[in-house]
Amino acid sequence: MPEVVFPLDSRKKFTEQPIVGHNRWHPDVPAQVRVRPGDVFRVDCREWFDGAIRNDDSADDILNAPLASVHVLSGPIHVEGVEPGDLLIVDIVDVGPIPQEDSGPLAGQGWGYTGVFATRNGGGFLTEQFPDAYKVIWDFQGGVATSRHVPHVSFTGIVHPGLMGTAPSAELLRTWNAREQALIDTDPHRVPALALPPNPDSAVLGNLTGAEFDRVAAEGARTAPPRENGGNQDIKNLTKGSRVFYPVFVDGAKLSMGDLHFSQGDGEITFCGAIEMGGFMDVHVDVIKGGMSKYGVSENAIFMPGRSDPQYSEWLAFSGTSVTLDGEQRYLDSHLSYQRACMHAIDYLQQFGYSAIQAYMILGAAPIEGRLSGVVDIPNSCSTVYLPTEIFDFDVRPGKDGPTAIDPGQGVPVARA
Ligand code: ZN
């Protein structure tokens, strides 16, 4: 096993660990770990809510999920000799849940969860259809996820980090905060919010203290969106074997990671939305000097996905177009057409006996494929969502005898907002 440079005790809170990570992006969060190009090392990662979500049959914890506290990230890690303008090479050598024998009461490690936030607490992709808080617990065994809340479905994990990235420069941070505030200003009271501005409440900034802590907490960018530094990209294909090339904006790159997922569908449509878990990552780092200009990579990270995907070969696909549920025609709106494709799949699965929220949870957690199938055929974009048929223990395909009735079991815990 590689040296553990960022250890976490899963029985303790994030702020009580020997090395304290962070939950805001800022160039002045101090690096507490130093590695060299060529090194292979292990980083433990807390699940993104630091143990606030429990393995039980109530969604009260999701209803009151402390969004200001996310994401608890492991890092920053300073890579010696790496400078602004370089590309940082990050190989995901291995990634997985914390071994079950190590799990404490706060861990979440032979299990994980998928949540849907209430509209007033973040919402989600289909928040108009699902305004309350919902939670599903998934159990992991032999690399496969099953749930007492969503029976008749099981699938192989596609384990990946939801979030990994380098620190922004002071200038880039100012750009982020200005452009996101300008968006918020277009509709400042919208529920859910258009974006999340800096918020000192619940900020964790490594070992910073005093006035420096206050300054960085007031300026630090929230970790929810992906940006030029990578960040919360939620790309399910960043499995082990992946190689990512991150733009570098500060000395040492200041690499951070977290938000591990046991599985996720394209789009992470449920928002709390993959199967969230804590775990470990084994990482190899290297550098391409001057790589940002050599390869024209300044917009965001580029990557070569790993090959350890579950092997599903049979699919049932649903399409949607950019027309609202009220029948209003929108112009090539791929976000809307993906919503309609997903709603289409949810309607279909309900014919077998699933509740709408059970179907929504399957789309968020299982390795579904989402595609922008057509983006030019005015006025309708066409988005598609592909369900692997082999994850169901009944025949989910249409046939002449009509849908098989399944027992939906106890269903999904809900907390009314
Ligand atoms: Zn996540």
Note whether 85 and 290 are within 8 A (CB): yes
Q: How far is the CA of 230 from the centre of ligand 1 (A)?
A: 14
Q: How far is the CA of 389 from the centre of ligand 1 (A)?
A: 25
SS3 label, residue 358? helix
Q: How far is the CA of 403 from the centre of ligand 1 (A)?
A: 33
DSSP string, 224-289: SSEETTEES---TT--TT-EEEEE--STT--EEEEEEES---TT-TTEEEEEE--EEEEEEEEEET
Please state, in angstroms and rounded to a whole number, the distance separating the CA atoms of residues 378 and 375: 8
User: 3-304 and 315-410: same fold?
Assistant: no
Q: How far is the CA of 168 from the centre of ligand 1 (A)?
A: 21
Phi first, then psi, for residue 282 (nearest 5°) are -100, 125
Q: How far is the CA of 48 from the centre of ligand 1 (A)?
A: 6
Best CA proximity match to 334, nearest among 386, 371, 367, 387: 371
Q: Give, for 402, the enclosing helix (H) or strand (E).
A: none
Protein residues with C-beta less than 5 angstroms from the ion ligand 1: 162, 259, 274, 276
Q: 273-291 burial by CB neighbour count: b if 16+ within 10 A, else e? A: bbbbbbbbbbbbbbbbeeb
| Per-residue pLDDT at 100 | 60
CATH classification (class only), 315-410: alpha beta
Q: Give, for 169, the enclosing helix (H) or strand (E).
A: none
CATH classification (class only), 3-304: mainly beta
Helix (DSSP H) and strand (DSSP E) numbers for the chain: 6, 21
Q: How far is the CA of 41 from the centre of ligand 1 (A)?
A: 22
Q: How far is the CA of 113 from the centre of ligand 1 (A)?
A: 10
Local mean pLDDT, 10-residue blocks, the chain (417 residues)? 91 92 98 97 92 92 92 97 98 87 54 94 92 96 95 97 98 98 97 95 97 98 97 96 98 97 95 91 98 93 92 96 98 98 98 98 97 97 98 98 96 95
210 Cβ partners below 8 Å, 6+ apart? Answer: none
Q: Give, for 74, the enclosing helix (H) or strand (E).
A: strand 74-79
Rg (CA), the chain: 21
Distance between start and end Cα atoms, the chain: 45
Q: Which tokens hold the place of 251?
A: 């000395």
Note whether 196 and 298 are within 8 A (CB): no
Q: How far is the CA of 397 from the centre of ligand 1 (A)?
A: 30
Let me know if 319 is exposed, middle or buried by CB neighbors in 10 A (0-12, 13-18, 19+): middle
| Per-residue pLDDT at 10 | 80
Q: How far is the CA of 37 from the centre of ligand 1 (A)?
A: 28
Domain ranges within the chain, ordered by starting residue:
3-304, 315-410
Q: Which tokens hold the place of 289?
A: 């000097």
Please state, in angstroms and rounded to a whole number, the distance separating the CA atoms of residues 29 and 77: 10
Residue 219 region, left (φ>0) first, then alpha (ψ -120 to 50), else beta? alpha
| Per-residue pLDDT at 212 | 98
pTM, rounded to two decimals = 0.95
Q: How far is the CA of 322 from the centre of ligand 1 (A)?
A: 27
Q: How far is the CA of 70 from the centre of ligand 1 (A)?
A: 10
Please state, in angstroms and rounded to a whole number, the distance separating the CA atoms of residues 216 and 286: 29
Best CA proximity match to 53, nearest among 258, 261, 272: 272
Q: How far is the CA of 399 from the centre of ligand 1 (A)?
A: 36
Q: 6-28 burial by CB neighbour count: b if 16+ within 10 A, else e? A: bebebeeebeebeebbbbbbbbb
Please state, in angstroms and rounded to a whole number, the distance separating the CA atoms of residues 110 and 277: 9
| Per-residue pLDDT at 74 | 97
| Per-residue pLDDT at 105 | 44
Q: How far is the CA of 274 from the centre of ligand 1 (A)?
A: 6
